[in-house]
C-alpha cells in the first residue's frame, strides 16, 4: 500500500521537525543547569608557614633616667637604638636597626618593647621581659607581629645584655650577646581570584 505525500503533509512534517530541533537546542543551552565547580587545589608545601631559626648579636646605646625609690631600690626608664646582625641560613634578615624602650626595676625586673627595621623598611615588633636587671641579665623576647614581609610573624628569642658604658649623665651603651630565637612567618595574602596553591604564573604575577 502506498501513501501519497501531499504538499500540506510535507509542510506539517517540516514544522514538527523544526519545533523539535528548537526544543532540543533550548534544553541543551538552559542556563539553569549548574556547572560543576572545580575542586580547590590542595595547598603545597611552599604555602605552609615558614619556620625560621636564627642567632645573632648587636650593640645599642642611648639614654636612661633613674628614679630612686628608697634605700636599695631604683627604677630606670631607658631608650636605646643601634644595630642588630642575624646569622644562620634561616634568619629573618641580615641587618636591622633596633630600637628599644622600657622600664627596669631592680626589685621587680624589666619590661620593654622593641622594633627591628630592615633595609626595606619592613619591621618586626616584640615585647621584652626579664626577672632581673643589671650586667649578664638574660632577656626574653616575644615576637608579636610586623609590617611588610614580616606581617603576622610570631615566635620567641632570648639574649644576654652586657653593658659597656653607664655614665652619670644618663648615657648607656652595651651589647646583645648570644641571641637565639625561632620565628614563624605567616603566609602572604593571596591575590583576589587566585586559588590556594596557585603559583605566580597562575595568578598572572610577574617575577
Give tens-digit pLDDT for 124-150. Answer: 999 999 999 888 899 999 999 999 999
The pTM of the full predicted model, rounded to 2 decimals, is: 0.67
Which value, in Å, is the radius of gyration of the alpha carbons in the chain? 35
With a cut of 80, say whether residue 32 has pLDDT above it: no
Q: How many CB atoms lie within 10 A of CB 114?
A: 23
Q: 143: helix, coil or strand?
A: strand
173 in Cβ contact with 59 (< 8 Å):
yes
Q: In the prediction, which pLDDT does 4 show?
A: 52
Please provide the average confidence, as pLDDT, over all residues in the chain. 79
Backbone angles phi, psi at 21, to 5 degrees: -65, -40
User: What pLDDT is recorded for position 90?
Assistant: 74
Angle at 101 between CA 97 and CA 107, to 5 degrees: 135
pLDDT in the model for residue 186 = 78
pLDDT value of position 80: 97
pLDDT computed for residue 199 by the predictor: 45
Amino acid at each position: 500500500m502506498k501513501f501519497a505525500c501531499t504538499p500540506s503533509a510535507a509542510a506539517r512534517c517540516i514544522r514538527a521537525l523544526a519545533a523539535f530541533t528548537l526544543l532540543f537546542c533550548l534544553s541543551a543551552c538552559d542556563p539553569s543547569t549548574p556547572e560543576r565547580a572545580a575542586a580547590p587545589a590542595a595547598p603545597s608545601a611552599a604555602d605552609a608557614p615558614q619556620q625560621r631559626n636564627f642567632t645573632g648579636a648587636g650593640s645599642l646605646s642611648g639614654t636612661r633616667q633613674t628614679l630612686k625609690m628608697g634605700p636599695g631600690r631604683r627604677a630606670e626608664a631607658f631608650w636605646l637604638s643601634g644595630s642588630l646582625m642575624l646569622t644562620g641560613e634561616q634568619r629573618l634578615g641580615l641587618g636591622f636597626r633596633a630600637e628599644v624602650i622600657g622600664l627596669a626595676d631592680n626589685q621587680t625586673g624589666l619590661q620593654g618593647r622593641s622594633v627591628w627595621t630592615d633595609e626595606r623598611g619592613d619591621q618586626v615588633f616584640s615585647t621584652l621581659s626579664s626577672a632581673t636587671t643589671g650586667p649578664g641579665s638574660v632577656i626574653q623576647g616575644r615576637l608579636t607581629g610586623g609590617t611588610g614581609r614580616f606581617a603576622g610573624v610570631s615566635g620567641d628569642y632570648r639574649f644576654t645584655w652586657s653593658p659597656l658604658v653607664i655614665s652619670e649623665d644618663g648615657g648607656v651603651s652595651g651589647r646583645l650577646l648570644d641571641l637565639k630565637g625561632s620565628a614563624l612567618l605567616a603566609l602572604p595574602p593571596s591575590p583576589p581570584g587566585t586559588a590556594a596553591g596557585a603559583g605566580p604564573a597562575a595568578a598572572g604575577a610577574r617575577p
